[in-house]
């Protein structure tokens, strides 16, 4: 059941999807920057993994990285001031940008407008 002989030399292809690398990169960078500690990160990830197990979610890499994302969102809210409301607004902006951006153009949001938009 375990894959015993994965090759020694990944480099390249170590992440199934780019968002997985981005999530870990963001988490580790925020640890380096001191927003939360490595212990807080491990505990938050452990809790998210246990929650997934308790829900009976399949034991896959997708489940693992989903837990990474849950832990990251919680720690960003608790220690870096990124609330769920902030996330909801920003996500809506990205979704609108994806729908409205002409094909072939890079999808971008105007962060200056976002930054100045009223909260709540």
Partner 1 sequence: MATFDGEKAAALHRELHTHLPSDPAMRVKTLESLAIERGLVAPESIDAWIEAYSEHIGPKRGAKVVAHAWTDPNFRKRLLDNAADAIKDFDFQGSATGHLKAVENTDNQHNLVVCTLCSCYPFSILGMSPAWYKSAEYRARAVREPRKVLEEFGVILPEYVGVRVWDSTAELRYIVIPQRPAGTDGWDADRLATVVTRNSMIGTERDLTREPA
| Interacting residue ranges for partner 1, rule: CB under 8 A | 1-12, 14-15, 17-19, 21-26, 28-33, 35, 37-39, 41-43, 45-46, 49, 52-53, 59-61, 64-66, 69, 72-73, 76, 80-82, 86-87, 90-91, 94-95, 98-101, 103, 109, 111, 114-115
CA distance 93 to 73: 18
DSSP label of 107? P
Report the number of secondary-structure helices (H) and strands (E) in the chain: 5, 0
Least Å distance, CB 118 to partner 1, is 16
Least Å distance, CB 90 to partner 1, is 5
CA distance 18 to 86: 23
Least Å distance, CB 106 to partner 1, is 13
CA distance 74 to 41: 10
Closer Cβ to partner 1, 11 or 118, answer by number: 11
């Amino acid at each position: 059941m375990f894959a015993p002989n994965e090759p020694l030399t990944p480099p390249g292809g170590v992440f199934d999807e780019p968002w997985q690398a981005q999530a870990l990169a963001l988490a580790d960078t925020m640890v380096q920057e001191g927003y939360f500690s490595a212990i807080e990160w491990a505990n938050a990830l452990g809790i998210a993994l246990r929650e997934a197990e308790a829900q009976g979610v399949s034991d896959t890499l997708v489940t693992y990285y989903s837990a990474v994302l849950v832990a990251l969102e919680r720690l960003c809210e608790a220690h870096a001031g990124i609330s769920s409301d902030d996330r909801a607004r920003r996500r809506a902006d990205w979704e609108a940008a994806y729908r409205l951006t002409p094909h072939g153009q890079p999808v971008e949001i105007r962060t200056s407008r976002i930054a100045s938009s009223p909260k709540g």
